[in-house]
Amino acid sequence: MLRKLINDNEEQDVIYITKYAFKIILDVKDTKPNKDDYKKLIREALITVTALKGVGPATGSLILSLLNKITNLAPPFYSDEAAEYLFVKYGNVENLKLRYSLPEYMKWLDLMWNLNSDFKYDFTDIENGIWALKLNEYYEIKPDFNLPVTTEDVGDKNFNSEEETKKDTTDEPKKETKKETSKEEEDKKPRTRSKRVKKEDADEPEQTEEVIDKLLKKPKKSKK
């Protein structure tokens, strides 16, 4: 339905009406009006652009926001997320249901003004930032468990301090360390024979047996 209404607009009407609405803002693009004058300015421009079929205050604000590359007076786009965020957080509005009417937009513009009263920033950038904050609320993953220690309990404690490091290591299993022994203690220890046998040591038992046999061998009696 909305698309059909948009398509029913004559091309020359679109050009004439949008140019006239843009001119209302561009005529004072280098000034810094107060809140009341600025709201009157944007209200007049919105009434002009919404003369197009199928264009309401929300779509009209989107069209007028295209002037943001020329002047910071360009009004912000009335996005659902940005509207909900400001009305709930700063407008004290409960059970919010957007109607996208001109009076509703002007109330929202009043809240936006408080964030950029000196026109130092682009209203479109501010609206984009608020839109991102609202999306973060939608999709933020909140933990379903409670941490044992809160930031309030910790305060300014330095977790990397030597004292904390010592505390953290008390619960760790103690590693066995090899005790260093002195040379005197090493000498007192019983020495064990190595399993590896040198080649020269391998012949030693045979030589010992031969010597024993010779010693035990009875001397032969000499024949007379």
Judge contact between 52 and 17, C-beta under 8 A. yes
Question: Residue 49: inside a domain, yes or no?
Answer: yes
186 CB-side CA count, 13 A: 5
The answer as to whether 22 is a domain residue is yes
**Cβ(38)–Cβ(25) under 8 Å?**
no
Report the share of the chain in percent with pLDDT over 70: 63
Residue 207 within a domain: no
The amino acid that residue 190 corresponds to is: P
Residue whose entry in the numeric block shows the structure tokens 């407008």:
91
CA dist., res. 20 & res. 33, Å (int): 20
Query: Could you count the other beta carbons within 10 Å of the beta carbon of residue 207?
Result: 9
Within-domain flag for 16: yes
Q: Please tell me the predicted confidence (pLDDT) of residue 196.
A: 44
Q: Quick check: 111 and 86 in contact, CB under 8 A?
A: yes
What are the pLDDT digits (tens) for 158-197? Answer: 545 555 555 555 555 555 555 555 555 555 555 544 444 4
Which has the closest alpha carbon to 115: 103, 101, 126, 129?
126
- Residues 33-78 have pLDDT tens digits of 999 999 999 999 999 999 999 999 999 999 999 999 999 999 999 9
Residue 100, domain extent: 2-139
Tell me, yes or no, whether 96 lies in a domain.
yes
Q: Say if 119 falls within a structural domain.
A: yes
Q: What is the pLDDT of residue 93?
A: 79
Query: Is 144 domain-assigned?
Result: no
For residue 108, is pLDDT > 80? Answer: yes
What total of structural domains would you count in the chain? 1
Model pTM score: 0.62
Residue 80 has pLDDT above 70, yes or no: yes
Identify the pLDDT of residue 138. 85
C-alpha span between 82 and 104 (Å, rounded): 13
pLDDT at 71: 97
In a domain, 66, yes or no: yes
Considering only residues 23 and 165, tell me which one the structure prediction assigns the higher pLDDT.
23
pLDDT tens figures, 120-144? 999 999 999 999 999 998 888 776 6
